[in-house]
Amino acid sequence: MTIKVDKVLDAKGLACPMPIVKTKRAMDELISGQVVEVLSTDKGSLADMQGWTKNTGHQYLGTITEGDVLKHYIRKANPNELKEEMTYPHTVSNEELLQMVESNAEITIVDVREPAEYRFNRIPHAVSIPIGELENRMNELNTEQHIHVICHTGHRSDMACQMLADQGFKNVTNVKEGMSVWTGPTDKN
């Protein structure tokens, strides 16, 4: 069965947050009801697209994997279906998180990047829960513990913070700059 698309967007070779950034721009060129096919090689883009569409009101139709390429299908919402895109209000800078790590503060750091990203560069003692698994693994976290959520640039962690807060987690903070500019200690495999 062939999927009719109105625009094909090539985001292959781009990492978070660029597939989402390009998708936002492409949506501006479409009219309500049209479908964009986003081609991506970033495995994290699956959770990114699902989370972004949930936050904005556009309809995530599905993803087809062909080799290393993910083909995401998104339908542009009608104006009355759109939501204002949310940004999680509680943030911390990398420098502030580093101070907490160095002072051995009682915090939990949740890394929502994909396993390959986590494996090669992570904050010591950070818990790996990829954003695509977060909904099913929230029970591994203490709702009362102060949780700092980190990803590569702060985009996926923003969505993860919103998900956690929606499920009753009270002390959740987004590390807004992420691992892309983290200068503190790291573990690597």
CA separation for the pair 158, 113 (Å, rounded): 12
Q: Where among 23, 54, 81 does a domain terminate?
A: 81
Is residue 2 in a domain? no
Is residue 108 in a domain? yes
The domain total for the chain is 2
Do 97 and 39 lie in a common domain? Answer: no
Q: Where among 28, 63, 81 does a domain terminate?
A: 81
* DSSP symbols for the chain: -PPP-SEEEEETT--TTHHHHHHHHHHHHSPTT-EEEEEE--TTHHHHHHHHHHHH-PEEEEEEEETTEEEEEEEPPPGGG--PPP--S-EE-HHHHHHHHHTT-S-EEEE-S-HHHHHHSB-TT-EE--HHHHHHHGGGS-TTS-EEEE-SSSHHHHHHHHHHHHTT--SEEEESS-GGG--S--B--
Is residue 1 in a domain? no
Of the pLDDT bands very low, low, confident and very high (cuts 50, 70, 90), residue 86 is low
Looking at residue 15, its pLDDT comes to: 86
Do 175 and 108 lie in a common domain? Answer: yes
Looking at residue 8, its pLDDT comes to: 96
Q: Please write the tens of the pLDDT for every residue from 25-73.
A: 999 999 988 999 999 999 889 988 988 888 788 888 889 999 999 999 9
Do 125 and 48 lie in a common domain? Answer: no
Q: Please write the tens of the pLDDT for every residue from 158-185.
A: 989 999 999 999 999 999 889 988 999 9
Domain that holds residue 31: 7-81
Q: Please write the tens of the pLDDT for every residue from 116-150.
A: 788 888 999 999 999 889 999 999 999 889 999 99
- pLDDT above 80 (res 94): yes
Nearest partner of 92 among 185, 180, 178, 179, judged by Cα: 178
Is residue 145 in a domain? yes
Looking at residue 112, its pLDDT comes to: 92
Do 99 and 18 lie in a common domain? Answer: no
Do 11 and 71 lie in a common domain? Answer: yes
Q: Any idea what the CATH number is for the domain that residue 105 is in? A: 3.40.250.10
Q: Is 16 a catalytic residue?
A: yes
Spatial strand order in the sheet of 172-175:
91-92, 172-175, 147-150, 108-111, 127-128
Q: Which of 11, 16, 112, 123 is catalytic?
A: 16
CA separation for the pair 113, 43 (Å, rounded): 10
Q: Any idea what the CATH number is for the domain that residue 42 is in? A: 3.30.110.40
**Rounded mean pLDDT of 3-10?**
92
Is residue 186 in a domain? no
Q: Where among 52, 81, 110 does a domain terminate?
A: 81
To the question of pTM greater than 0.85 for the whole model, the response is: no
CA separation for the pair 76, 27 (Å, rounded): 7
> 100's torsion region: left (phi>0), alpha (psi -120 to 50) or beta?
alpha
Do 172 and 102 lie in a common domain? Answer: yes
Do 105 and 172 lie in a common domain? Answer: yes
Do 177 and 95 lie in a common domain? Answer: yes
- pLDDT above 60 (res 1): no
Looking at residue 136, its pLDDT comes to: 93
